Amino acid sequence: AQTVTQSQPEMSVQEAETVTLSCTYDTSENNYYLFWYKQPPSRQMILVIRQEAYKQQNATENRFSVNFQKAAKSFSLKISDSQLGDTAMYFCAFIYSGGSNYKLTFGKGTLLTVNP
């Protein structure tokens, strides 16, 4: 079974600064996807970024980028130029792509607060 661990229950950052959220995962599989989802106070679940395990290049989406270290089973999210609207719960998630079930396994989340 796969597990996803987010070791930082809460973090805070000043507006315009950079912050990194940590995520580690445990799997014996080689083919999988990793995701970061954002859950703002509205409690919507918004996909932020996706990484395929077979790709060595780290994914980027505007101010959001990841540091994917496959050997270390680490998948951190970097948010640059933090904005007040980035205040949200962030969830790291894993999908094993080699089987018949593509369920997401989530971490417990990191609550990020961006301060003005």
Partner 1 sequence: GAGVSQSPRYKVTKRGQDVALRCDPISGHVSLYWYRQALGQGPEFLTYFNYEAQQDKSGLPNDRFSAERPEGSISTLTIQRTEQRDSAMYRCASSPARGHEQYFGPGTRLTVT
Q: Which residues bind partner 1 (CB under 8 A)?
A: 4, 33, 35, 37, 43-47, 50, 91, 93, 95, 97, 100-109
User: 34 or 114, CB closer to partner 1?
Assistant: 34
* Shortest Å distance, C-beta 116 to partner 1: 25
CB 82 within 8 A of CB 62: no
User: 85 or 116, CB closer to partner 1?
Assistant: 85
User: 42 or 116, CB closer to partner 1?
Assistant: 42
CA distances from 99 to 25, 36, 40, 89, 103 (A): 18, 21, 31, 29, 10
Residue 110: beta bridge partners? 90
